[in-house]
């Protein structure tokens, strides 16, 4: 045993070699078994993933699309609108509760489009009710801004680009027709006017303008007239060139250029998802700006508005108006000193006259002179133009009072001064009774 070949010995290190081989074969069989089992499990897992994915897709398809302001307005009522001023009593405490309920409904509920419009109309009514209430002035102003922007967003979402473009072209067509008629009337007053009417084909132009503005004949005629205006510098006669540059001709040229520019083909449909995305960005940055007045949010709001202008072209008027009235700064701001304004408004008068009166039995006669000056005195104000209209004056008099006993001479120097506060909100001048 000790001297035999280890490979001929059925026991190797206490383990039978044939047993080792069986174990090896058994392991291979188990590998096949577990391999088949693994494939089965993998198949079931894949099937489960497919089913899960299919269910997820089905669930995604079942999700309702956002309607109107959904997804655009914040999910919660803005902090500066969540509470009205403290100390409200009576009907104004009830007003506060009603406004709070409407805001919670607008921001926190999934309202239909019609319900959103009704809620905004109700909030607008509440804003109007608060007019003239000093304690609610700031709160009502903040609420008014949100209502106007929300209404403008709804109008923007429903804009019909094709209808807007058609309306713009119709307006340009009317301007063009007026310019052509005005030029023809102007040329009719001149001896050689008919020659210019024929050269500019004004009769043909007026005829074509009565037809649809999409007619090929009209477009060809306008392009031909545009070319004539562009080449008028090539006219040999200097007097003709000068005449051709008169304002009446320039008005027609501007109208032709504007019509041709607006008639260029544009997108017939808008990218609604892009519009909603930018409206959301705009409203979000406006809300952040309300809270922080951050330049970054101001820039981002302007950026979103610029993208919307590119996408909607002329269909952004409601939103533009709301932003201009509530958020946009003016492109031009003129700063003037009070001294300069006083020079513009200043008015000085001097009145003189005799004094004839009877005072306590004395006959008084003499002369008086009164000088008055009108000016302005500006007052600090964050929201309005506030100033006092001032009146300053001096009265000098020389009189004598005569009785049967004596004559008394008097000399008077009197100063007068008055003011009236005036407020201007950009539209209306307001003052109060004395």
Q: What tens digit of pLDDT does each residue of 336-363 get?
A: 788 888 888 888 899 999 999 998 888 9
Range name among 53-57, 87-91, 289-293, 426-430 with the lowest pLDDT average? 53-57
Identify the CA nearest to 283 among candidates 122, 145, 160, 159.
Answer: 145
Q: Does residue 292 sit in the same domain as residue 239?
A: no
Per-residue tokens: 185: 């009337």
Chain-centroid distance, C-alpha 123: 20
Q: Is residue 255 part of a domain?
A: yes
Check residue 168 and report its DSSP letter. H
Give yes or no: residues 247 and 307 share one domain. Answer: no
Predicted confidence (pLDDT) per residue in 197-233, tens digit: 999 999 998 888 887 555 688 888 899 999 988 888 7
| Bridge partners, residue 358, by sequence | 363
pLDDT the model gives residue 372: 92
State mean pLDDT over 406-418.
90
Cα(398)–Cα(400) distance, integer angstroms = 7
Beta bridge partners of 415: 394
**Domain final residue pick, 157, 182, 204:** 157
φ, ψ at 110 (rounded to 5°): -90, 85
The model's confidence at residue 382, banded by pLDDT at 50, 70 and 90, is: low
In a shared domain, residues 216 and 230: yes
* Chain centroid, CA 128 distance in Å: 21
Q: Find out whether 256 and 222 touch, Cβ atoms under 8 Å.
A: yes
pLDDT at 5: 41
Q: Tell me how many domains the chain contains.
A: 5
302 is a domain residue:
yes
The token pair that represents 42 in the structure block: 């993998």
- pLDDT for 267 equals 57
Q: Which of 70-84, 135-149, 153-167, 312-326 has the lowest mean pLDDT?
A: 153-167
Over range 421-428, report the average pLDDT: 86
In tens, the pLDDT along 99-146 reads 999 999 999 888 999 999 999 999 999 999 999 899 999 999 999 999
Asked whether residue 185 falls in the same domain as residue 147, the answer is no
Confidence (pLDDT) at 8: 37
Coil, helix or strand at residue 156: helix
pLDDT given at position 152: 94
- d(CA 66, CA 111) in angstroms, rounded, equals 10
Strand, coil or helix: what is 427? coil
Angle subtended by helix axes 113-129 and 91-108, to nearest 10: 150
Nearest to 300 by CA among 325, 282, 288, 275: 282
Cα–Cα distance between 392 and 373 in angstroms, integer?
5
Residue 129 shares a structural domain with residue 104: yes
Residue 333 inside a domain? The answer is no
Strands (E), 257-340: none
Q: Are both 98 and 137 inside the same structural domain?
A: yes
One domain for residues 374 and 405: yes
What's the confidence (pLDDT) of residue 3?
43
Question: 132 and 177 in one domain?
Answer: no
- List 366's β-bridge partners, or say none: 355, 399
Domain edge (last residue) among 157, 184, 212: 157
Contacts of 193 (CB under 8 A, 6+ apart): 186, 187
Looking at the structure, tell me whether residues 397 and 365 fall in a common domain.
yes
Given 157, 177, 200, the domain boundary residue is: 157
Q: Report if residue 68 sits inside a domain.
A: no
Give pLDDT, residue 98. 94
pLDDT at 234 over 60: yes
Give the pairing type, strands 429-431 and 407-424. antiparallel
Q: At 39, is the secondary structure helix, strand, or coil?
A: helix
The whole domain housing 289 covers 272-326
Greater pLDDT, 423 or 44 = 423
Tens-digit pLDDT profile for residues 25-50: 333 344 444 444 454 444 545 544 44
189 shares its domain with 245:
yes
> Looking at the structure, do residues 193 and 104 belong to the same domain, yes or no?
no
> Residue 212: its pLDDT value, please?
58
Higher pLDDT, 265 or 245: 245
For 159-203, the pLDDT digits (tens) are: 776 676 777 778 888 889 999 999 999 999 988 889 999 999 999
**For residue 100, is it within any domain?**
yes
Who has greater pLDDT, 420 or 380?
420
Give residue-wise pLDDT tens across range 297-320.
999 999 999 999 888 866 788 999
Q: Is residue 405 part of a domain?
A: yes
- The crossing angle, in degrees rounded to 10, of helices 113-129 and 137-157 is 150
* 75 Cβ neighbours under 8 A, 6+ residues apart: 107, 108
The answer to whether position 65 is within a domain reads no
At a CB cut-off of 8 Å and minimum separation 6, what does 128 contact? none
Token pair, residue 408, equals 């008394």
**247-288 residue pLDDT tens:** 889 899 999 988 888 777 655 566 788 889 999 999 999 999
pTM of the full predicted structure? 0.49
Q: What tokens were used for 53?
A: 């994915």
d(CA 95, CA 92): 5
Helix (H/G/I), strand (E/B), else coil: 189:
coil
**73 in a structural domain:** no
Residue 246's SS3 state is coil
Strands 407-424 and 385-402: antiparallel
Q: Which of 38-47, 142-151, 367-376 has the lowest mean pLDDT?
A: 38-47
Report the alpha-carbon angle 135-137-143, nearest 5.
Answer: 125
């Amino acid at each position: 045993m000790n001297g035999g070949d280890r490979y001929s010995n059925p026991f190797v290190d206490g383990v039978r070699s044939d047993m080792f081989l069986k174990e090896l074969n058994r392991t291979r069989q188990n590998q096949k078994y577990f391999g088949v089992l693994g494939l089965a499990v993998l198949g079931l897992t894949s099937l489960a993933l497919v089913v899960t994915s299919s269910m997820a897709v089905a669930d995604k398809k079942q999700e309702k699309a956002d309607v109107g302001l959904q997804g655009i307005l914040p999910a919660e009522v803005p902090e500066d609108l969540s509470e009205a001023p403290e100390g409200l009593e009576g009907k104004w405490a009830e007003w506060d509760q009603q406004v709070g309920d409407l805001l919670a409904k607008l921001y926190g509920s999934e309202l239909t489009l019609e319900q959103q419009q009704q809620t905004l109309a109700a909030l607008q009514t509440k804003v109007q009710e608060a007019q003239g209430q000093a304690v609610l002035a700031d709160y009502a102003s903040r609420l008014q801004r949100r209502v106007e922007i929300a209404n403008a967003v709804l109008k923007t979402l429903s804009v019909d680009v094709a209808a807007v473009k058609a309306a713009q072209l119709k307006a340009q067509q009317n301007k063009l027709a007026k310019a052509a008629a005005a030029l023809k009337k102007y040329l009719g007053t001149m001896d050689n006017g008919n020659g210019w009417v024929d050269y500019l084909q004004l009769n043909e132009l007026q005829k074509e303008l009565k037809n649809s503005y999409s007619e090929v004949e009209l477009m060809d005629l306008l392009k031909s007239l545009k070319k004539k205006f562009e080449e008028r510098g090539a006219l040999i006669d200097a007097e003709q060139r000068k005449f051709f540059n008169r304002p009446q001709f320039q008005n027609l040229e501007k109208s032709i250029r504007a019509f041709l520019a607006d008639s260029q083909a544009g997108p017939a449909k808008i990218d609604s998802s892009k519009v909603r995305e930018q409206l959301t960005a705009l409203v979000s940055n406006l809300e952040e700006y309300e809270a922080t007045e951050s330049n970054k949010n101001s820039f981002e709001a302007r950026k979103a508005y610029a993208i919307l202008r590119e996408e909607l072209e002329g269909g952004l008027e409601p939103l533009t108006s709301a932003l201009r009235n509530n958020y946009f700064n003016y492109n031009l701001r003129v700063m003037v000193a009070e001294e300069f304004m006083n020079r513009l408004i200043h008015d000085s008068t001097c009145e003189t006259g005799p004094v004839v009166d009877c005072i306590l039995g004395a006959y008084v006669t003499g002369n008086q002179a009164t000088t008055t000056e009108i000016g302005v005195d500006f007052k600090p104000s964050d929201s309005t133009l506030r100033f006092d209209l001032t009146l300053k004056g001096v009265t000098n008099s020389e009189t004598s009072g005569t009785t049967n006993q004596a004559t008394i001479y008097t000399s008077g120097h009197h100063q007068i001064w008055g003011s009236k506060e005036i407020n201007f909100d950009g539209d209306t001048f307001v003052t109060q009774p004395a």
